[in-house]
Amino acid sequence: MGNGKSVRKHIIRLLYPQRCPVCDEPVPYDEGLICESCRSKLVYITDPRCRRCGKQLSEETQMYCEACLDKQHNYSYGFGVYDYQSVKQSLFRYKYRGRAEYAAFYAADCYAHLKEEIDRMQADAIIPIPLHWEREQKRGYNQAYEFARELSKVTKIPLAGKTVKRVKKTAPQKGLDNLQRQNNLKKAFHIHTDVVKLKRVILVDDIYTTGCTIDAVAKELKQHGVGEIMFLTLSIGEGI
């Protein structure tokens, strides 16, 4: 049985080769989910990081970024995997060019680099940030959900993919200032299922900029009885 599955997997991989999340070329079969030559092009966020939002800091003596010194969040803390600029084109293809297959590499790489941090979270569930149904229908999938589903597989943390629903079709956050982002997200999310039993959860999205989206969802979850909210994102960009 095992050999049969292996053969089928091999045939499928030959017919439909995995595309590299960096260069978007087919990955050689023996190189896994990314071209070995492309690995060095990824820039990871490493210590020193903001202890709240996970942004890269320049000084070892810093504990928080400028934004987190002045702002209270509804989540406890979180981490991003990559510096946004190093994966900007990859994320664009992932979100808008049908490259949902990148999610398998993103999740595996996330857990490889943040295993200790994720294990310490002791989360009961992974919850993806939802898209409005019209936007998801147009795109064909929710990139946060795809990443969350793959992350659930590698971490063994249950996926709670239908917990939060986006009920308001919000304007794109890009280009809005912090106050506009907050107003844009008012009454945008609805808790779709009973979450009282969830004590600690991880919210998952593709990018963290100002944290407004994650804060908005975290606020709703807290109001419905979730004890602690953390987050993981693929990238962290500039934004206050």
What residue spans define the domains of the chain? 1-40, 42-236
pLDDT in tens, the chain (240 residues): 456 655 565 555 556 778 999 999 999 878 889 999 999 999 999 999 999 999 999 999 999 999 999 889 999 999 999 999 999 999 999 999 999 999 999 999 999 999 999 999 999 999 999 999 999 999 999 999 999 999 999 999 999 999 999 998 776 666 666 667 666 677 889 998 788 789 999 999 999 998 999 999 999 999 999 999 999 999 998 754
Number of H helices, E strands in the chain: 8, 6
DSSP 3-state of 127: strand
CATH number, domain 42-236: 3.40.50
Q: Looking at residue 31, what DSSP letter applies?
A: G
162 vs 167: CA distance, rounded Å: 13
